[in-house]
Amino acid sequence: MSGQKIEMPAAELPIGISFFTFQALSYVIDLYRNQYKAQRNIINLALYISFFPQLIAGPIVKYKDINEQLNNRSVTSEKMAEGIRRFIYGLGKKVIIANTVAQCVDKIYALDYGHLTGILAWAGAILYTLQIYYDFSGYSDMSIGLGKMFGFEFLENFQYPYLSKSIQEFWRRWHISLGTWFREYLYIPLGGNRKGTARTYANLFLVFL
């Protein structure tokens, strides 16, 4: 009928769609660049793309970093113990610190502007920086720990970013796997900093966009 609205169902996206996409893209792009041979074993390829420990919150694992581990990895009592310790460490970051701080942050941000003092505003901002770090870093630690339990060695994803002396250094220390991914597959292919200052800033803008 004329003028009748058609109701469209909401699209249900799978959990971890961004990390799933980043990893699948890195595999195809590096294969195109002849950095390794195609993985003929569909089980190993599916394992790489959908490996659950780091699929939801990272770190982003490139195929070239673990292609040998897909066929040759060892699960030892030492690795298992190290993985369990790392997992507990990350779980503590997430549950004990991040979730506790988040309760304070939510209460501060829920205040009416008329009741929000300068001290509370600064407290909310500082506590929020702690919340997002311990939340994200905790997830990464749990992923790395779980990987070790299964015999995989994942690269570190955080290097004390709040100790950085510049924004550039912070970007290199925070979510390292994501920054590396954008540098290798977007910034450098666009020309990086090799084509003048204007082009460099344009490339940086596209990366952050």
Q: Residue 38's domain spans which residues? A: 14-72
Q: Does residue 93 belong to any structural domain of this protein?
A: yes
pLDDT, tens digit, 9 for 90 and up, residues 24-59 = 899 999 999 999 889 889 998 888 888 888 777 778
129 exposure class (CB count in 10 Å sphere: 0-12, 13-18, 19+): middle
Burial letters 42-72, b for 16+ CB under 10 A, else e: eeebebbbebebbbebbbbbbbebbbebbee
Cis peptide before 59 (omega within 30 of 0): yes
For residue 15, the model assigns a pLDDT of 66
pLDDT, tens digit, 9 for 90 and up, residues 147-173 = 999 989 998 999 999 999 998 899 899
* Same domain flag for 21 and 60: yes
**Last residue of a domain, which of 22, 50, 72?**
72
97 exposure class (CB count in 10 Å sphere: 0-12, 13-18, 19+): middle
Q: Is the pTM of this model over 0.85?
A: no
* Same domain flag for 97 and 40: no
**Last residue of a domain, which of 158, 183, 198?**
158
* Same domain flag for 154 and 165: no
* Same domain flag for 166 and 138: no
* Same domain flag for 141 and 180: no
* Strand residues in 77-198 grouped as ranges (E): none
Q: Does residue 116 belong to any structural domain of this protein?
A: yes
* Same domain flag for 68 and 88: no
* Same domain flag for 79 and 141: yes
pLDDT, tens digit, 9 for 90 and up, residues 71-115 = 888 888 999 999 999 999 999 999 999 999 999 999 998 888 888
Q: Would you give the DSSP letter of residue 187? A: I
**Last residue of a domain, which of 72, 89, 106?**
72
Orientation of helix 118-149 relative to helix 77-92, angle to 10°? 160
* Same domain flag for 35 and 68: yes
* Same domain flag for 146 and 171: no
* Same domain flag for 179 and 154: no
Number of independent structural domains in the chain? 3
**Mean model confidence pLDDT for the chain:** 88
Question: Whole-angstrom Cα distance, residue 149 to residue 143?
Answer: 10
Q: Are 98 and 134 in contact (CB under 8 A)?
A: yes
* Same domain flag for 86 and 56: no
Q: Is 196 left (phi over 0), alpha (psi -120 to 50) or beta?
A: left
pLDDT band at 14 (very low <50, low <70, confident <90, very high): low
* Same domain flag for 111 and 171: no
Q: Are 59 and 140 in contact (CB under 8 A)?
A: yes
